[in-house]
Amino acid sequence: MRLLPQREAARAPAAEADELSAPFADRLAALTEERRSQVCLGLDPDPAGLPSDSVPDADGEAPAERAATAVVRRCRALIERAGPACVAVKPQLACFERLGAPGWRALEEVCAAAREAGLLVVADGKRGDVPVTARAYGQALVGETPTPWGPVSGLGADAFTANPLFGEDAVDALVEAARDAGAGVFLLVRTSNPGAAAIQDSALEGRPLHERLAELVAERASLLSGESGLSGMGAVVGATAPQHLGRLRELMPDSVFLVPGVGAQGGRPEDLGPALAPGRPASLLVAAARGIAGADDPGEAAERLRDTLWRLAA
């Protein structure tokens, strides 16, 4: 039986829950093999770029409500067209949060649509703070918050991105939240933006900072490991600096790499071979947003990327 996303498993009958629920890395590995895909559909909706007539006029409806409805429709359409060639979606939280409360409701609807399509959800918020706040972020993204009136569920994502620069105590609070939820964490290690080199490649005790960040990941890999041999203690590693991929894989042999920067930012899928852990195709999860969403045929674009990446894993 196919392993389901964590929140879908949580709603399964009790007799099936143990079989369906598994650590994030195992669920990703099973879905990668099933779909022969390592593609993560990035969802970065820009309400300003959507047609004004994409949502019918409604008397008294606030602009935020109409914008949120249009965002949901746009994301649902992308999931329907490109989702079959993908294993996950990566909603950029800021693109939803800027719409206020309607934007958060839109995010929940989009995550539900992704789960209905059998896709894992990676919440891309790059959260990080002192431990007490980091725990709250974990509750918001993958866990639940205890209250005198009962627990309050968070977003229910399968994994999330996190900023490690607050240090080990903050990272550990996020990892604990992920472990309790069976979720994954992707720490920022070497990002895809042009300005990353000035900070992340700078020397720290004689070696690049990104190597020390990679060690933070590797030191915690066993906490989120699964039977697949992979760990949900993952790393965000950009495709725009492929010269670092081989070394980072050496430092993080068991971690899943979430790789942005392919397509619009200039990264090439053909250069990602060194990021793969030998014999484990799910060790590479390539995030593509504009390259799929901006294509004339998003489904074809996703299929093309899937096929290119799968050849690397063959």
Q: DSSP string of 84-139?
A: GG-SEEEEBHHHHHTT-HHHHHHHHHHHHHHHHTT-EEEEEEEE--SHHHHHHHHH
Taking the C-alpha atoms of residue 59 and residue 54, their distance in angstroms, rounded to an integer, is: 16
Q: How confident is the model at residue 50 (pLDDT cuts 50, 70, 90)?
A: confident
| Per-residue tokens: 250 | 């050496």
CB 72 within 8 A of CB 38: no
Residue 298 has pLDDT above 90, yes or no: yes
* Average pLDDT score over residue span 124-149: 97
Phi, psi of 267 (to 5 degrees): -70, 145
Contact 245/220 with Cβ under 8 angstroms?
no
- DSSP conformational letter for 262: B
Q: What percent of the chain has pLDDT over 90?
A: 86
How many of the other CB atoms lie within 10 Å of CB of 57? 8
Residues above pLDDT 70, as percent of the chain: 92
Which residues are the active-site residues? 126
Give the separation between CA 142 and CA 125, rounded to whole angstroms.
12
pTM of the shown model: 0.92
Residue 231's Cβ-side half-sphere holds a number of Cα atoms within 13 Å equal to 22
Taking the C-alpha atoms of residue 201 and residue 105, their distance in angstroms, rounded to an integer, is 38
User: What's the pLDDT at 54?
Assistant: 74
**Ranges 3-12, 27-36, 112-121: which has the least confidence:** 3-12
The continuous run of DSSP H or E covering 283 comes out as none
Is the domain covering 6-313 a CATH 3.40.50.2000 domain? Answer: no
Please, are residues 186 and 159 in contact by the beta-carbon 8 Å criterion? Answer: yes
The pLDDT score that the predictor gives to residue 51 is 83
Nearest to 269 by CA among 113, 94, 39: 39
What is the H or E stretch that residue 309 is in?
helix 298-313
What is residue 202's predicted lDDT score, i.e. its pLDDT? 95
Contact 93, 42 (CB under 8 A): no
Mean pLDDT to the nearest integer, 87-94:
98
Please tell me the distance from the alpha carbon of residue 155 to that of residue 138, in angstroms, as a whole number.
Answer: 10
Q: Is 244 exposed, middle or buried (0-12, 13-18, 19+ CB in 10 A)?
A: buried
Q: Inform me whether the pLDDT recorded for 140 exceeds 80.
A: yes
pLDDT at 193 over 70: yes
Mean pLDDT, the chain, rounded, equals 92
